[in-house]
Structure 1
Amino acid sequence: MVEHECQISKEACRKARLARDPRFDGQFFIGVCTTKIFCRPVCPAVSPKEENVRYFDTAVQAANAGLRPCLRCRPDSAPRSYAWKGTQTTLERAKALIDAGALSGIDGQNVEALSERLGISSRYLRKLFAQKLGTSVKHYAQYRQLMFAKQLLHQSNLSITQVAFAAGFNSIRRFNEVFKAQLQLTPSALRKSRGQPGDSERSQLQPLAECGQVTLRVQLSFRPPFAWQQQYDFYQLRAVKEMEWLDNNLSYGRSFSLNGVSGYFDAKLNEARNAFDVDIVLEKDSDLCQLNAIINNIRRVLDLDANIYQIDSALSLIEPLAPLMLPGLRLLGVWSAFEAGCRAVLGQQVSIVQASKLLNQLVLTYGEKRLIGEKQVTLFPTPAAIAKAELTELKMPGARKRALTALGQFVWDNPNADLERWLSIKGIGPWTVAYARMRGLSEPDILLCGDLVVKKRVLAQYQTEQAGTDKSATDKGLDYELLTQSLAKQVAPWGSYLTFQLWNLS
């Protein structure tokens, strides 16, 4: 077996695997020399002897060492960790794009196009993958396709042909060849191995509907803790009728549109499994080409890949805020940066309740109504719809209406522009851009210092600490600016999580 030094210490890995600690799920993988299988730290199988195991940072490193994924704990279902390491930014961006299907499918890019998108040379990108992951860009992309296909074979009733298409393979023959070569069994053999119709997991599987509609369920894992009740309340206060819905079972659902594909999902907490059971409904069979990107965005919106133990540990060091921090509070996103920008514009200088009313009016008036399956939903308005909107229904200043339509026009004309370019739009300031980055792109280090609620709660907690400070100077913002500069340095790279913690305070 190829030796590999895991970034997490060997002793920490040993303790985590013996305890089956779910906080480390997806942060490392366990290779078993005797069985040639690799597992997650939470694998229910009998723990192997320490002298028979090796530890790997990623599943692809374990696969490169000649190991195959365990059929019991299914490494393909582990939470991911790359998006929250805070280092190796270019490599992590490349992996995120590949995981979303940038190199797969009929419209997949080549390595050169991906490199250009990242602003680096293809030679440098290949060097990064070779040095950091021990594999090539194409091999990594192919492995991610296989892991996604494996997840669908385990968890859905999609046909093998549909699974191959959803995973980005253009040929069922090629899919079968690669699958067998990499995983030492065929897709049909794996499908048969998942259990009999009566077992608990299989009973959750949803059948395909008629008329081309596709309905499937996947289980998306996370690392505990997860403060879902508080986050359910957060969503409920801001929910948009017909676009979002919540029920008494603490589930959250919404409609979506991504790369020309529309549908909706329902996510219900499965606390016993540290996961969400997510039902996804797509309009037609051909929409499966975007399924990987859709699932990745659901993971981002619910913040399922956060290394929350590390984040909570960092927040616990910030005095005097530490005692007020709620363990497991996530960075809840919205479906797109454009939607987040619209929410930010509507929420300027008004209460959350008033902002929610304006948002509901905007979506119900300008969003497209669709019948998807048997459910009537409304999609968030497109940039084109907002650009053309008169907005007479919205009771807010004309300047903000103009800023909203200008934002729609800009994103319509420049769909892939960096959000910093939004600052060229009259009425769009740093707070709006920062909010869109935090909730629309899920950037982890956005401390919204300009937010009035954040300012009020930071000052309230630090006032006692700053005994003798002139309160009038603090209220004018001079001391607050210095305070938040220091606070942002202390909390980095988790400023967005502190923002949500401050919002959560009563």
Structure 2
Amino acid sequence: MEHNLKTLTVESCRKARLSRDPRFDGQFFIGVLTTGIFCRPICPAVLPQEKNVRYFDSAIRAINEGLRPCLRCRPDSAPDSFAWKGTQTTVERALKLIDAGVMSGENGLSIESLSERLGIGSRYLRKLFFEALGTSPKKYAQFRQLMFAKQLLHETNLSITQVGLVAGYRSVRRFNEVFKDTLRLTPTQLRKKGGEHCRAPKSKTCSDEGVCLSLTLSYCPPFNWEHLSGFYRLRMVEGMEWQDDASSYGRTFRLGAVEGFFEVVHLNEKNRFNVTIHLFRAEDLPLLRDVVMQIRRLFDLDADLDKIHDSLSSIPFIGEHLHEGIRIPGTWSAFEAGCRAILGQQVSVNQATKLLNSMVKENGELRYLSGRRLRMFPTPDKLANASLDELKMPAARKAAIKAFSQYVATTPDADLEQWLTIKGIGPWTVAYAKMRGRSDPDILLCSDLVVKKRLLKMYEADRDTGQPAKPVDYTVLTESLRRQSSPWGSYLTFQLWEQT
């Protein structure tokens, strides 16, 4: 409904849908009253008359109004770029946890447990959700389960039973009941009706043990893939990461006990990625959703770049230098990011990458799947007990790697700030790990030498040349920048690293 739109006007929505503007994909949805369905702004179907349209700021609001998702544009595959996202910190934290599946499955958290984890009361959490989404945390969790199940039904050959299990349902019967009650179709009916609109290759069994699935992951443009892929390419680890061509990227991963690798192909003209995920063991399928969410984080697919760019462009002497579409290139884990940061202390990126390659080659386990010889990133236990003789660097930094690995091995869930108690790890290393390993959006690395050099150069160039030159107080300058760039400091960091 129009009154649910938080930041977009009805006129903005009207113009966006008439032009099928992809920048608004995921920011609002279009309910068509004459058909009882709701669509994305980019839906290729014949445009309905304005009098038959209502606008919603989230798919779940449309569901709550009794509308069902369009089988052609598939709202379940829209990027998660809610118009209000980022304005309510507690709700956003809750959404991230629910999207990660903490309320799904046999061991799913109750609303009370989720509220406790967020540090608020359950009644207050329900109130926040109703204000933001018009529904409860429990119903939102059920909605996310359904939308992921719907994507699997469209894009894979998994059986109905497997889809229900992967989506977090305890029984096929319950899965069918919830699916039909909400979407007014059974899983089998939806698969038949939606089959002709499938846009991704169906999943297949791998040539050896394991399972292989293909999915599509959408985003809101702009997306500077050249920057992101170039950033990864410069820091690539042989056998663990690869790029077969300019539009692709692949790497191995470990998520708890789950191991595998994924490959993405960027389809710039369609604002999405085709993703193929290979799991070494078929029994790991129930954790597929966790893997997918991690890949979304890795490529920062849910960022609202227009909003971020508008915010940063208002900063004096910064705005005119911004590049379009720069996102946060994540690492698979905070531990990996910490290792990369320690190896990168006081050396160039090229030298740090050589050290990283040597460390992974010597200590990363080999895996063979689908005809590939793959290398895993070393576990904390492995590095804690490794000699690290292959690393041509000061003994103090080797000791830091070992101490860091031992700490993570024994306290894997510790807050990253606790890493500062480890000798050889300072604020820069922790901040880097937060930015790339946790995708924290608000890390401005002012202590980074490249960032400092470029900030000062840009500041000096912007000065009024008619005034007497005064020494720049870098501390005062960066304190001001932190305030002005918040909560998008990480994006400013990558903008500054990109400056030439």
SS in 2 for 1:194: helix
Give a deviation string over 1:473-494, Cα, whole Å, max 9, x none. 54xxxx1221122222222221
Match of 2:59 in 1: 59
> 1:83, 1:305 within 8 Å by CA — same for their partners in 2?
no
CA distance in 2, matches of 1:375, 1:124: 51
> 2:100, 2:293 within 8 Å by CA — same for their partners in 1?
yes
Match of 2:454 in 1: 457
> 1:216, 1:280 within 8 Å by CA — same for their partners in 2?
yes
- Structure 2 residue corresponding to 1:201, chosen from 191, 199, 202: 199
CA distance in 1, matches of 2:286, 2:379: 21
Give a deviation string over 1:258-306, Cα, whole Å, max 9, x none. 1210111001111221101111000122211111111111011111111
> 1:84, 1:307 within 8 Å by CA — same for their partners in 2?
no
SS in 1 for 2:461: coil
Give a deviation string over 1:154-175, Cα, whole Å, max 9, x none. 1112222211111111211111
Identify which range, 83-92 or 303-312, moves more after superposition. 83-92
- Structure 1 residue corresponding to 2:386, chosen from 386, 389, 395: 389
- Give the C-alpha shift of residue 39 in structure 1: 1.1
Give a deviation string over 1:382-433, Cα, whole Å, max 9, x none. 1222222222211222222222222212222222221111112122111111
- Give the C-alpha shift of residue 319 in structure 1: 3.5
Match of 2:21 in 1: 21
Match of 2:152 in 1: 152
Identify which range, 95-104 or 126-135, moves more after superposition. 126-135
CA distance in 2, matches of 1:111, 1:80: 22
Identify which range, 125-134 or 14-23, moves more after superposition. 125-134
Cα 1:318–1:20 shift into 2, 3 Å: same
> 2:27, 2:83 within 8 Å by CA — same for their partners in 1?
no
> 2:154, 2:195 within 8 Å by CA — same for their partners in 1?
no
Whether 1:373 aligns to 2:357 is: no
Question: What does 1:298-309 align with in structure 2 at a 5 Å threshold?
Answer: 298-309=295-306
> 2:155, 2:203 within 8 Å by CA — same for their partners in 1?
no
Q: CA RMSD in A?
A: 1.9
- Give the C-alpha shift of residue 84 in structure 1: 8.5
Match of 1:318 in 2: 315
- Structure 1 residue corresponding to 2:489, chosen from 484, 495, 504: 495
- Give the C-alpha shift of residue 470 in structure 1: 6.0
Identify which range, 316-325 or 347-356, moves more after superposition. 316-325
Question: Which sections of structure 1, spanning at least 5 residues, go unmatched?
Answer: none
CA distance in 2, matches of 1:291, 1:351: 37
Question: Which sections of structure 2, spanning at least 5 residues, go unmatched?
Answer: none
- Give the C-alpha shift of residue 32 in structure 1: 1.7
Give the counterpart letter for 1:496 in structure 2.
S
- Give the C-alpha shift of residue 210 in structure 1: 5.6
Give the counterpart letter for 2:454 in structure 1.
R
Match of 2:324 in 1: 327
Cα 1:410–1:11 shift into 2, 3 Å: same
Cα 1:274–1:413 shift into 2, 3 Å: same
Question: What does 1:271-350 align with in structure 2 at a 5 Å threshold?
Answer: 271-350=268-347
Match of 2:475 in 1: 481
Give the counterpart letter for 2:5 in structure 1.
C
> 1:176, 1:186 within 8 Å by CA — same for their partners in 2?
yes
CA distance in 2, matches of 1:85, 1:455: 31
> 1:367, 1:378 within 8 Å by CA — same for their partners in 2?
yes
Give the counterpart letter for 2:139 in structure 1.
H
- Give the C-alpha shift of residue 375 in structure 1: 2.0
Identify which range, 367-376 or 183-192, moves more after superposition. 367-376
Give a deviation string over 1:355-386, Cα, whole Å, max 9, x none. 00111112112222112333221111112222
CA distance in 2, matches of 1:78, 1:60: 12
Give a deviation string over 1:457-483, Cα, whole Å, max 9, x none. 111111233456767x54xxxx12211
Match of 1:73 in 2: 73
CA distance in 2, matches of 1:128, 1:11: 27
Percent sequence identity is 58
CA distance in 2, matches of 1:491, 1:294: 31
CA distance in 2, matches of 1:396, 1:212: 40
Match of 2:131 in 1: 131
> 1:158, 1:208 within 8 Å by CA — same for their partners in 2?
no
Number of residue pairs the alignment of both structures matches? 497
Cα 1:240–1:93 shift into 2, 3 Å: same
Give the counterpart letter for 1:321 in structure 2.
I
Question: What does 1:443-454 align with in structure 2 at a 5 Å threshold?
Answer: 443-454=440-451
Match of 1:40 in 2: 40
SS in 2 for 1:268: strand
Cα 1:121–1:390 shift into 2, 3 Å: farther
Whether 1:352 aligns to 2:346 is: no
Match of 1:87 in 2: 87
Match of 1:166 in 2: 166
